[in-house]
């Protein structure tokens, strides 16, 4: 290392900047992930009892964190120019993309649809908060981006006459959603991974958890929100098998880490969705935007004890499924003229209101008017899932309830995917591009990831070769740490965070609930920080710290928005402001 200083693991790592860090004078930073928390805790114990392998240093032109549609498609493009390392904390196919049922919203038939219609639908769903330039870019550049993944082998359903079998979902004025049965994301992930495996310039590492971005902070320079020209040099990565922390240096780093559904007790997101990218970027002092806009999917299957929640695709309503209460009455007409095909924020609030009005734990989705053979061919997974718990959709209604589904806000980026930190880009759900505004239109997210992956690759160009590797970046130092004595604290604190967010920061919010959430999160934060400073790194501990970071940004942003708009509804501020302003922290 030539005498370079070692990374000090807990010096000045401000997670809860401006509030927890500034007001309470605490010192934060760090965070990782794994699907099975109990197994990960056992791994942490074993690592403390055996000698770890040495930490390693690696150099790549491009470091991509995440292996969903954003990370894989961008990695394929960058591999044409230089060496690419794609790291993912679980199996390479485990991502939010894999679980996307609906499809990709894109204009493909100009005789029945138009860019203007898609733009209008997106902006209406966004409730006055969309950035017009971002909407135009995604909608107009979308067809070319989709054609590219079709060329890479993605298969979308067609009609018997060979035309695309386009679905219509809530908020859309036309049939424009390309899909592969009810597992579109799985098909896209398959096609992209098959291409990645064939690329000699891509190194794909699974079970590597990105802990933190490497910036000037790790060189001993004070970095805060007022700092100008913060640089990203790569990432520190936990090898979950050995416990070693490697230093991966990159000329360019891209965060494509997906969402943060695990911050809530009820979510359709997989267990890996702990907001790692947003948490890392926020700790590194990148700008984070509009985190109060959390989308709850209206129709998750009501099946107590199942976690994550199983999603009943919005496309089911597009083909005739109707929402009803326990009396068998349709109710959506009382909330919106589009009835069951209204945008998700409206439908989710309507269901929440209907449940509270009648004192019920769920409502019903009536699909009995849909031809059973059509259901089996278009929604085979949904149909079989319902059968597995005793529900025959041909003869019985399906119990459904809203569940957290998508993080609309994220790392603030411009129209080329550039964050406020130099040499750091963000793409996909972890980013905030301005496309979705205050509420995401169904099936726009996969399209956004493809378009911005293309734009990031174009923006990087060939100039990246002039960016030097930061050889002064120190190796990770975990001296003085030991195995955690109270492992139950990690899993219990995670459940408490989820309960706080679901109870106080859900579909309907109040000032009192938000204040109480902040107070409760502070207590858990203090406990977690103490454990982090003294114990060996483990996936459950690092995930908990990321969840706390994300939970704080959601609550902080919600407190700053003194209006109700889109996905954010506060009964203390029920009206909508005349002028929209983004929430940037």
Per-residue pLDDT of the chain (585 residues), as tens digits, is 333 333 433 322 333 333 333 333 333 333 333 345 555 555 555 544 444 567 899 999 999 999 999 999 999 999 999 999 999 998 877 777 877 788 999 999 999 999 999 999 999 999 999 999 999 999 999 999 999 999 999 999 999 999 999 999 888 999 999 999 988 989 999 999 999 999 999 999 999 999 999 999 998 888 888 888 899 999 999 999 999 999 999 999 999 999 999 999 999 999 999 999 999 999 999 999 999 999 999 999 999 989 899 999 888 998 999 999 999 999 999 999 999 888 888 999 999 999 999 999 999 999 999 999 999 999 999 999 999 999 999 999 999 999 999 999 999 999 999 999 999 999 999 999 999 999 999 999 999 999 999 999 999 988 899 999 999 999 998 888 888 777 788 999 999 999 999 999 999 999 999 999 999 999 999 988 888 888 889 999 999 999 999 999 999 999 999 999 999 999 999 999 999 999 999
User: Of 176, 283, 344, 440, which is the active-site residue?
Assistant: 344
Strand partners, 158: 164
CATH classification (class only), 296-404: alpha beta
b/e per residue, 68-83, with b = 16+ CB within 10 A?
bbbbbbbbbbbbebbb
Where do the structural domains in the chain lie, given as residue ranges? 296-404
Q: What angle do CA 77, 92, 31 make, to 5 degrees?
A: 100
DSSP secondary structure letter of residue 491: H
Cα(63)–Cα(522) distance, rounded to whole angstroms? Answer: 33
Omega into 308 within 30° of 0, i.e. cis?
yes
Helices (H) and strands (E) in the chain, counts: 15, 16
- SS3 sequence, 208-248? EEEEEEECHHHHCCCCCCCCCCCECCEEEEEECCCCCEEEE
342, 332 Cβ separation under 8 angstroms: yes
What count of other Cβ atoms lies within 10 Å of the Cβ of residue 516?
Answer: 16
234, 247 Cβ separation under 8 angstroms: yes
DSSP secondary structure letter of residue 584: B
196, 76 Cβ separation under 8 angstroms: yes
Catalytic-residue membership of 344:
yes
Tokens of 569: 């509804």
């Amino acid at each position: 290392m030539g005498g370079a200083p070692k990374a000090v693991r807990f010096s000045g790592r401000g997670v809860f900047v401006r509030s927890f860090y500034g007001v309470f004078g605490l010192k934060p930073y760090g965070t990782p992930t794994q699907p099975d928390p109990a197994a990960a805790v056992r791994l942490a114990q074993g690592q403390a009892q055996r000698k770890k392998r040495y930490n390693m240093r690696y150099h790549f032109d491009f470091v991509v964190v995440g292996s969903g549609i954003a990370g894989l498609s961008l990695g394929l493009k960058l591999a044409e120019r230089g060496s690419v390392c794609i790291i993912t904390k679980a199996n390479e196919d485990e991502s939010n993309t894999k679980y996307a049922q609906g499809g990709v919203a894109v204009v493909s038939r100009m005789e029945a649809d138009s860019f203007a219609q898609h733009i209008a639908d997106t902006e209406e769903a966004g409730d006055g908060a969309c950035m017009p330039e971002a909407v135009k870019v995604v909608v107009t550049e979308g067809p070319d981006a989709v054609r590219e993944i079709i060329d890479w082998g993605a298969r979308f359903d067609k009609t018997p006459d060979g035309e695309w079998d386009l679905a219509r979902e809530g908020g859309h004025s036309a049939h424009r959603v390309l899909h592969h049965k009810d597992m579109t994301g799985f098909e896209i992930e398959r096609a992209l991974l098959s291409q990645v495996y064939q690329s000699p310039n891509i190194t794909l590492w699974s079970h590597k958890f990105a802990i933190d971005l490497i910036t000037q902070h790790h060189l001993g320079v004070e970095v805060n929100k007022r700092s100008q020209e913060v640089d990203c040099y790569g990432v520190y990565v936990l090898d979950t098998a050995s416990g070693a922390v490697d230093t991966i240096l990159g000329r360019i780093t891209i965060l494509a880490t997906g969402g943060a559904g695990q911050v809530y007790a009820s979510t359709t997101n997989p267990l890996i969705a702990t907001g790692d990218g947003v948490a890392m970027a926020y700790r590194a002092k990148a700008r984070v935007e509009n985190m109060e806009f959390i989308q709850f999917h209206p129709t998750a299957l009501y099946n107590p004890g199942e976690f994550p929640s199983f999603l009943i695709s919005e496309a089911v309503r597009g083909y005739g499924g109707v929402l009803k209460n326990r009396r068998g009455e349709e109710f959506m007409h009382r909330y919106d003229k589009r009835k069951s095909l209204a945008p998700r924020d409206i439908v989710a609030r309507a269901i929440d209101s209907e449940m509270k009005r009648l004192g019920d734990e769920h409502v019903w989705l009536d699909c009995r008017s849909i031809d059973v053979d059509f259901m089996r061919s278009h929604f085979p997974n949904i149909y079989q899932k319902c059968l597995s718990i005793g529900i025959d959709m041909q003869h019985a209604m399906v119990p459904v309830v809203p569940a957290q589904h998508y993080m609309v806000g994220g790392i603030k980026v411009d129209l080329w995917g550039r964050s406020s930190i130099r040499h750091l880009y963000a793409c996909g759900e972890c980013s905030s591009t301005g496309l979705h505004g205050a509420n995401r239109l169904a099936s726009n997210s996969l399209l956004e990831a493809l378009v911005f992956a293309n734009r990031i690759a174009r923006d990087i160009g060939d100039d990246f070769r002039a960016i030097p590797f930061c050889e002064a970046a120190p190796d990770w130092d975990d001296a003085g740490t030991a195995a955690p004595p109270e492992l139950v604290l990690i899993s219990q604190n995670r459940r408490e965070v989820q309960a706080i967010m679901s109870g106080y920061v859900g579909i309907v919010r109040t000032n009192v609930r938000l204040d109480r959430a902040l107070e409760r999160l502070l207590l858990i934060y203090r406990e977690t920080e103490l454990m982090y400073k003294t114990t060996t790194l483990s996936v459950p501990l690092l995930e908990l710290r990321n969840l706390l970071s994300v939970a704080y940004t959601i609550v902080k942003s919600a407190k700053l928005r003194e209006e109700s708009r889109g996905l954010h509804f506060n009964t203390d501020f029920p009206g909508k402001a005349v002028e929209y302003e983004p929430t940037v922290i």
